[in-house]
Amino acid sequence: MSGTRETRIWKLPPGLSGSKESLRNSAEILGAAEVLQRGGLVAFPTETVYGLGANGLDAHAVAGIFAAKGRPADNPLILHIATLADLDQVVARLPAQAAHLAHIFWPGPLTLVLPKTENVPMITTGGLGTVAVRMPDHPVALALIEVTGVPLAAPSANTSGRPSPTEAAHVAADLLGKIDIILDGGSTGIGVESTVVDCTGASPVILRPGGVSKEALEQAIGGTVEVAPHLIAAEEFSEGPVRSPGMKYNHYAPKAPALLVEGQPPDIFEQLTSLAVELQAEGEIVGLMVSQEMVRYWQERAIDTGKWQIMCMGSRRNLEEIAANIYRGLRDLDNTNATRILLEGVPTSGLGLAIMNRLTKAAGHRVVGDGN
């Protein structure tokens, strides 16, 4: 089904995204839109991660996404739109609260799950009667959707199960020869995927934490927002129907087995250090993804970290910075000879909820330490 494709990588000239008009008329956007209209596959930057786009209303084109990514057929895709008017063709009913959230957060990293129209093929929604929709906040993504003239189904542009791509080089590492075009628009800003909110019930429910925090959603609706039970207990072990099929799969995993350490400094720093020392003594090559504060702790105590592979994800006081760096850090650790990986946890407030969701999955739910 997937076959081999000759992947062309088109770098968008820097500064092009400054003007909407020049971007829409650029050879890169016009060429990519034509490929999409013919049912092809185009990876493009969004403000969250790189997406792998296809015409979301063309079942054959969408099948190409599942084949290229090796994505399970029951894991539905998000449709990306450029204007609010595009909603009508894919959404059967827009409850007032969903319209309110769209007005506040679009364009932006918020995905709304709503009842679908007949236009949306079942393959796009993984067989569900609902459809996930968002308007991305990235000039390249918006120009591409507008010029193509259809909603684009666009999951993250990685091989299923691997860390999501935040740079064009990550897309190429996974999908070269499997897709038609990679539009290289530089690094993505936010670095974790959108927040998925189910808007089909009486009140919104977070199905996947992401770029819009629970706190921001609660402020917008003036009340508490529920978090789906599978985000609290691992979905594999929970009862009842799966509400967000994608969340049951192990995602974002580096190749070497990883362990997530939770807690507050200085305890978390002490635990990470003693685990690294122990693993090294057992003959493992230790890879760590840690904060600047952890690195400083080692420096101040003159701890010998010479044999460890260390990726710094940013400051614990700047969760935006950490979110932007975790997928690159996991991929960089994969490119070392590390045999065991230790990940430093962060508090779950704000963007921290999305970061910890991704790190927990990267660790295959192997978590130690004191989360409080």
Residue 207 site contact among ligand AMP, Mg ion, none (CB < 5 to 8 Å, cut-off depends on kind): ligand AMP
| Least distance (Å) between residue 341 CB and ligand AMP | 22
Q: Give whichever of 200 and 264 is closer to ligand AMP, judged by the CB atom.
A: 200
Q: Give whichever of 150 and 152 is closer to ligand AMP, judged by the CB atom.
A: 152
Residue 313 has φ and ψ, to the nearest 5°, of: -100, 0
| Least distance (Å) between residue 116 CB and ligand AMP | 8
Strand-pair partners of 116? 91
Q: Is 150 in the site for ligand AMP (CB under 6 A)?
A: no
Instruction: Specify the pairing of strand 78-80 against strand 152-153.
Output: antiparallel
Say how far apart CA 193 and CA 249 lie, in whole Å: 15
Considering only CA atoms, give the Rg of the chain.
Answer: 21
Q: Give whichever of 152 and 182 is closer to ligand AMP, judged by the CB atom.
A: 152
Residue 131 site contact among ligand AMP, Mg ion, none (CB < 5 to 8 Å, cut-off depends on kind): ligand AMP
Q: Is 138 in the site for ligand AMP (CB under 6 A)?
A: no
Say how far apart CA 91 and CA 117 lie, in whole Å: 5
Q: Give whichever of 46 and 156 is closer to Mg ion, judged by the CB atom.
A: 156
Residue nearest to ligand AMP (CB): 246
Say how far apart CA 310 and CA 304 lie, in whole Å: 12
Tokens 């786009």 label which residue? Answer: 53
Q: Is the peptide bond before 165 cis (omega within 30 degrees of 0)?
A: no
Q: Is 360 in the site for ligand AMP (CB under 6 A)?
A: no
Residues 84/180, Cβ–Cβ less than 8 Å:
no
Stretch that binds ligand AMP, among 39-47, 69-77, 174-182, 283-291 (CB under 6 A): 69-77
Stretch that binds ligand AMP, among 9-17, 241-249, 282-290, 326-334 (CB under 6 A): 241-249
| Least distance (Å) between residue 193 CB and ligand AMP | 5
Using CB under 6 A, which residues numbered 97 to 136 contact ligand AMP?
A: 113, 125, 128, 130-132
Stretch that binds ligand AMP, among 74-82, 136-144, 170-178, 284-292 (CB under 6 A): 74-82
Region for 175 from its dihedrals, namely left if φ exceeds 0, alpha if ψ lies in -120 to 50, beta otherwise: alpha
Which residue type sits at 24? R
Q: Is 46 in the site for ligand AMP (CB under 6 A)?
A: no
Q: Is 64 in the site for ligand AMP (CB under 6 A)?
A: no
Q: Could you give the angle at the alpha carbon of 183 between the alpha carbons of 138 and 186, nearest 5°?
A: 60
Say how far apart CA 264 and CA 253 lie, in whole Å: 24
Q: Is 76 in the site for ligand AMP (CB under 6 A)?
A: yes
Of 33, 77, 212, 351, the one binding ligand AMP (CB under 6 A) is: 77
Stretch that binds ligand AMP, among 38-46, 72-80, 270-278, 358-366 (CB under 6 A): 72-80
Residue 17 site contact among ligand AMP, Mg ion, none (CB < 5 to 8 Å, cut-off depends on kind): none
Strand extents, DSSP E, the chain: 8-11, 42-44, 51-55, 78-80, 110-115, 130-134, 152-153, 181-184, 195-198, 205-208, 226-227, 258-262, 286-290, 309-312, 340-344, 367-369
Residues near ligand AMP, by CB under 6 A: 75-78, 113, 125, 128, 130-132, 155-156, 193, 196, 207-208, 244-247
